[in-house]
Amino acid sequence: MQERTSLPEPLQSVVSQVMQVGSRVQPFSIESHEKAPRIRDAQVVHSVCPYCAVGCGLNVYVKDGKVIDIEGNPDSPINQGTLCPKGSATFQYTVNPSRLTQVLYRAPYSDHWEVKSLEWAMEQIAQRVKKTRDETFVERLPNGREVNHMLGIATLGGATLDVEENYLMKKLFGGGLGIVSIENQARI
């Protein structure tokens, strides 16, 4: 972000400041000069609103590795800096104490969650996928038609998935594993 006012040079003599009063510089207290929007020194990251499909541009302001604010991107021809109530609240969607940060596991017939490691969960999920796939994979129908598919696993994605994520899902689940029911909010 560019500076719009010149800050006082701390080493400038009081005399020269006094001489300029009433000529071209307005009198500012040090406090006024130091006041700045908190996003002033933040890094601006360009993003897109995750809600509806209009695709409003977002400016995500990052300071010290944390998102401090999210606003509409004034350069976007789609929203020209404006946002609706949901878009304006994207900050609270991403920075929110209710968000999950650990893997929770519920064993069959259990009445509680258990915290598990990511590594453990990934390995268990891979094992479940393999077991179900090996048990339900069908190469041919009774009528001899080749199907090479598996109906024992289904997937359902939301439409906040990225294009690249959708691509890898279809490739792995369909092309690699033979899952047929790969579905998305796009149908609903």
Partner 1 sequence: MGSNMAEAHPVAFANVVKAKERGAKIIHVDPHYSRTSALANLYVSTRAGSDIVFLGAIIRHLLETNSYFHDYVVHYTNAATLIREDFRDTEDLDGLFSGYDPESGTYTDQSSWDYERDTNGKPLTDPTLQHPRCVFQIMRRHFARYTPEMVEDVCGVPREQWLRVAQTLIENSGRERTSAICYAVGWTQQSKGVQIIRAAAMIQLLLGNIGRPGGGIMALRGHASIQGSTDVPTLYDLLAGYMPQPSALSAQQTLAEYIDTAGQKTGWWANFPAYIRSLLQAWYGEAANEEDGNTCYRWLPKTIGDHSHLATSYTMLDGKVRGYLLFGQNPAAGSTNARMQRKALEQLDWMVVRDLYEVESAAFWYKQPGFGPDTEPVDSSKIKTEIFLMPAAASTEKEGSFTNTQRLLQWRDKAVDPSGDARSDLWFVYHLGKRLRELYAGSAEPKDRPLQALMWDYDREEPEPGSRILDEPDTLLVLKEINGYYVRQPAQTNTGAEAQRFSMLRAAPHVPGFAVLKSDGSTACGSWIYSGVYPEPGNNRAASRISSDGYTFQKWGFSWPANRRILYNRASADPQGRPWSERKKYVWWDEEQQKWTGVDVPDFPLSKPPDYAPPPGAVGMDAHSGSDPFMMKPDGKGWLFVPKGLNDGPLPAHYEAAESPVRNALYHQQSNPAAKYYRDRPDNRLAAVGDPNYPVVITTYRLTEHHVSGPMTRWMPWLNALQPTLFAELSPELASEQNIKHGEWLIVSTPRGEIEARAMVTRRMRPLFVSGRVVHQIGLPFHWGFQGKSTGSITNDLAHMVLEPNVSIEEAKAFTCNVRSGRLP
Run of H or E residues at 33: helix 30-34
Run of H or E residues at 85: helix 85-88
Region from 5-13, 14-22, 23-31, 41-49 binding partner 1, contact rule CB under 8 A: 41-49
Contacts of 33 (CB under 8 A, 6+ apart): 5, 7, 8
Site string for partner 1, 52-71 (x = CB under 8 A): xxxxxxx-x-x--xxx--x-
Residue 87 makes contact with partner 1 by CB under 8 A: yes
Amino acid identity of residue 14, one-letter, is V
CB of 142 to partner 1, least distance (A): 11
- For residues 90-109, which are near partner 1 according to CB under 8 A? 90, 92-94, 96, 98-109
Residue 167 makes contact with partner 1 by CB under 8 A: yes
- Is residue 18 within 8 A of residue 24, CB to CB? The reply is no
CB of 5 to partner 1, least distance (A): 27
Please list the residues that pair with 48 across neighbouring strands: 57
Region from 1-9, 16-24, 30-38, 110-118 binding partner 1, contact rule CB under 8 A: 110-118
